[in-house]
Amino acid sequence: MDNIVILTGAGISAESGLATFRGPGGLWEGHRVEDVCTPEALARDAALVHRFYDERRAALGRVAPNPAHVALARLDREWPGGLLIVTQNVDDLHERAGARRMLHMHGELNSALCASCGTRRAWEGSLPPGTTCGDCGSPTLRPDIVFFGEMPYRMDAIERALSDCDLFVSIGTSGAVYPAAGFVRTARYHGAATLELNLERSAGSAWFGETRLGPASELVPAWVDEVLAQSTQSSPMSR
């Protein structure tokens, strides 16, 4: 087993104190996702949408990576084969834990996107509607979040990684949103083994070769220990 692709969702950040999307009550921090995560919502009430993401960006300063993020960063450092963490999350907890071989397919809170010229740039603090783009001068900077109906980022890199992977692991996602929910099928089609680590069975559980249920902060470190132990047993150095 050389190449691993890991998909993470809101569940990996839940124990850090960040709300998931489809938890009890189905509200995201008090808002229906449809009210703050669509192009229509941005057109209808830019102040609400910008304020919502300002609050979530500010919340990042009050939370920290949990043992699941730390374990994935260790795997990233120590795994000798290919590895890619594809996160649906817009928080920066994977990076802060030290992960490097990763990408955000749904955008990032700590980034601003220009709706006119497409420039993306690191952003801290609040981002009010009408903020001017430093590249094209238009007052069209928006939260760099992929809204429902918009194309996720880096799909080419993700598809390539899925077609080459030997193991696909899904952590903390409900399998409710495409294209991420379909990655397990792509990986299986290319012959990969598939593992789901989640608090409860998800919409995609039937597609996984193995599902382990429990909190990510327990399941992920245990799984990383297992995988790294296998890699040292099988590597030629340990003959």
Which residues are near ligand APR by CB under 6 A? Answer: 9-11, 14-15, 20-22, 33, 88, 106, 172-174, 176-177, 198-200, 202, 215-216
Q: Which amino acid is at 239?
A: R
Tell me the two tokens of residue 172.
């903390």
Q: Is residue 135 part of the contact set for Zn ion (CB under 5 A)? A: yes
Q: Please choose, from the candidates 126, 190, 130, the residue with its C-alpha nearest in 3D space to the C-alpha of residue 164.
A: 190
- Does position 133 interact with Zn ion (CB under 5 A)? The reply is yes
* Closest C-alpha among 55, 95, 92, 54 to residue 72: 95
Question: Is 136 a binder of Zn ion (CB under 5 A)?
Answer: yes
Rounded to an integer, what is the distance from CA 119 to the centroid of its chain? 21
Is 50 or 106 the residue whose CB approaches ligand APR more closely? 106
In 3D space, the residue among 209, 201, 219 whose CA is nearest the CA of residue 185 turns out to be: 209
Nearer to ligand APR, 22 or 101 (CB): 22
Kindly state the smallest distance separating residue 131's Cβ from ligand APR, in Å.
23
Q: Which of 50, 69, 106, 190 is catalytic?
A: 106
Q: In the Cβ-directed half-sphere of 88, how many Cα atoms lie within 13 Å? A: 23
CB of 73 to ligand APR, least distance (A): 17
CB of 200 to ligand APR, least distance (A): 4
Known catalytic residue: 106? yes
**3-class SS at 49?**
helix
Residues with catalytic function: 106
